[in-house]
Structure 1
């Protein structure tokens, strides 16, 4: 039996996509369907992914459910923040995670030696713009929801040292760096380990009340620390296990990218590649993956890159160009799609934006950095009050007035549109802000960055 992945109230009708929605199979015996019956409708799609061979693919995400997409934007019937809104849930996780966190800290220490070495591996993007739009002031509370190696947080402290800075990251390696920084700034830094969907509970536990934060920063995507560590499995240029989990040490049963490519059928893989990677050759690549895994399991990053490359003529491997007109590998979008899917990044982003909105005080600043169109589209629609499920025609794509009629079977449609009202945010800069040419030359990895900033009304 298949049910939705993200704890959302699913639409009573089939998705409008020609292909079925992306599904993770979850065994009914592991889920108390009686407790979910009041909040989840069983989707009538009967087609199952019978080839899910890994038991932990069925165990993990029992609170997470599949969602369908329209024009690259996911259907959001209910606020997913309800999954992790309980402080008690966080308390229950805390003790059990300490051991895994300490192991990740040991790995971090063995890899880097100290946080000064680690921070050099990741160059923060658009630091001056972030500080200008965030505008930290004396005595303020600032929330950095994506600490990473701490580049932006350090810049905030350099601008104004007398602030309370709550720094969050789901990656235990980043959390270890944050803890070390908190030793240098014990009065300023409060380090938090968790996902966006856990942020509300952790902030409440730390004594932060809704409507009391002066500024929130989100610097999305994958950090250089993750990309440059082969053991993490994010990069196709360095061979390593095909992992891609940002917090796999905390959740060892969480499916890896290897589990996904070895377990899902061709149609599901193609849908993932097309939806999360915007890959136009999704069917061709998915077919190559399925053929290859029938001979041997796909377990390494460069193994997958070679399989994807093998589906194309040699001349086509580097025909794609980045914003600097440099050749990019044909498998780049495949790796992006798998990473986003494995880490549930888009849904986490939406939860993060809702959490930021909840904890910001009126007049508080939100600064969001994104690195691909899917992230930027969600941020743009959220700040402009557009329903993320709304399908816009090309002639109307830039309009920002939400149309209640397009809301998908919400029980309280008025409440949803009131929470996404365009009157709740004032854009600091009307258009998206991109890095200066000199910064792109100095830090090519930041070439695709897009910054949006707004003030909560």
Structure 2
């Protein structure tokens, strides 16, 4: 990585993580209703593909609700932790004069969009390339202190640019190399999805697909992938993986929780992508960074797109965090026979955050019609309070 210092996490903080990979290398409220509240560049300079990403039409998800929750004000400092194509960043900069914004993204292909934003809003944007876990070192290099940021926005998941280009390996519908790395080639030694499938054992693969994808047929899919790997050849393309997974189902597609048709390989692709990019650990670390760098009274706004992401955010906001890790088990499932002192429970449930809304905010039906990819989005927002 050029132009900035990198902090690499040494240990895993969630049940499934790179610990498995080290082993494989060895062998609801609608947004249409009223909302009530309860330039120095450190961008990595790197060779990219000959794809004009600046022509990609990007529609920021729930932009009106994001701005209403974040409340940008003139002269204040904000961080867009997931810059992508810059849709939310542009909305923040347009919402108030003289806003200072730090734009972070782990994907080096976003540099072109960052350059355009910097030209349109001179001396207002600081572009950075890195993961959530690399943010402290990046801010430290610019002498930005803790508790100095007024608002932080997260838009989790993949960007449209990553899904729309076959060579990135995220899309089921577009055939390309099975890559799935959000960092692209920033870390050449990091394994691609194809590398994972070529080395992982059956039990670990089944766990990944089950836990990260919620796939009921995880064991059958894992067994089929391993059989193909040994009997035929390594799996190298997205269409090869999609076809193998689809062969494990009797139906051509199945329905999600909202009765929408979904490709049979969708959950498997999601699970492998989460594992390759260590996404849940990064989300957990990102929320910790937000708590560390936000001022008291600063605002946190998150957009999540599946339950694993949303659960981590929800646990942090509720205060269900143990040793910096979002508690995976909700307190309502704790044994009723357990007897605890009142002070212990109060300390355990003490939260740094005050939620802005009683329920999550979801896109309006009109927005879903215009931008179907936002259909599973959930917005949560909170204010950092004194402990």
Deviation at 1:204, TM superposition (A): 1.8
The answer (yes or no) to whether the contact 2:13–2:281 under 8 Å persists in 1 is no
Secondary structure of 1:142's counterpart equals strand
Deviation at 1:7, TM superposition (A): 2.7
1:450 partnered with 2:339: no
Say which of 37, 51, 57 aligns to 1:111. 51
> Which residue of the partner structure matches residue 318 of structure 2?
384
The answer (yes or no) to whether the contact 2:17–2:278 under 8 Å persists in 1 is no
Residues 194 and 25 of structure 1: is their aligned pair in 2 closer, same or farther, counting only changes over 3 Å? closer
The answer (yes or no) to whether the contact 1:217–1:366 under 8 Å persists in 2 is yes
> Which residue of the partner structure matches residue 319 of structure 1?
254
Say which of 186, 204, 219 aligns to 2:122. 186
Provide structure 1 residue ranges, at least 5 long, that are not aligned to the other structure.
Answer: 27-47, 54-93, 398-402, 406-413
In the TM superposition, what are the counterparts of 1:288-303 in structure 2 within 5 Å? 288-294=224-230, 295-303=232-240
Deviation at 1:181, TM superposition (A): 1.4
Deviation at 1:384, TM superposition (A): 0.7
* Cα distance per residue 1:79-122 (max 9 Å; x no partner): xxxxxxxxxxxxxxx8xx95xx3202xx2xx311x63x13x1x3
Residues 393 and 271 of structure 1: is their aligned pair in 2 closer, same or farther, counting only changes over 3 Å? same
1:102 partnered with 2:46: yes
Say which of 305, 309, 317 aligns to 2:242. 305
1:278 partnered with 2:281: no
* Cα distance per residue 1:305-352 (max 9 Å; x no partner): 000011222xx23122464x4311110000000000000000000111
Deviation at 1:127, TM superposition (A): 0.2
Deviation at 1:174, TM superposition (A): 1.2
Deviation at 1:207, TM superposition (A): 2.7
Residues 256 and 390 of structure 1: is their aligned pair in 2 closer, same or farther, counting only changes over 3 Å? closer
Moved over 3 A (4+): 8-11, 20-26, 392-397, 420-423
Q: How far apart are the structure 2 equivalents of 1:380 and 1:151?
A: 25
1:7 partnered with 2:13: no
Residues 364 and 268 of structure 1: is their aligned pair in 2 closer, same or farther, counting only changes over 3 Å? same
Deviation at 1:390, TM superposition (A): 5.0
In the TM superposition, what are the counterparts of 1:190-205 in structure 2 within 5 Å? 190-205=126-141
Q: How far apart are the structure 1 equivalents of 2:312 and 2:214?
A: 15
Say which of 418, 424, 427 aligns to 2:355. 427
1:151 partnered with 2:151: no
Secondary structure of 1:351's counterpart equals helix
* Cα distance per residue 1:117-166 (max 9 Å; x no partner): 13x1x321000000000000011001100000000011111111311000
In the TM superposition, what are the counterparts of 1:82-101 in structure 2 within 5 Å? 98=44, 101=45
The answer (yes or no) to whether the contact 1:240–1:302 under 8 Å persists in 2 is yes
> Which residue of the partner structure matches residue 281 of structure 2?
347
Residues 385 and 266 of structure 1: is their aligned pair in 2 closer, same or farther, counting only changes over 3 Å? same
Secondary structure of 1:216's counterpart equals strand
Deviation at 1:172, TM superposition (A): 0.5
1:245 partnered with 2:181: yes
Please tell me the root mean square deviation across aligned C-alpha atoms, in Å.
2.7
In the TM superposition, what are the counterparts of 1:322-333 in structure 2 within 5 Å? 323=258, 325-333=259-267
Q: How far apart are the structure 2 equivalents of 1:264 and 1:404?
A: 42
Please report the TM-score for the alignment, with normalisation by the length of structure 1: 0.72
Aligned length: 354
Please report the TM-score for the alignment, with normalisation by the length of structure 2: 0.85
Say which of 118, 134, 145 aligns to 1:209. 145
1:224 partnered with 2:160: yes
Deviation at 1:176, TM superposition (A): 2.8
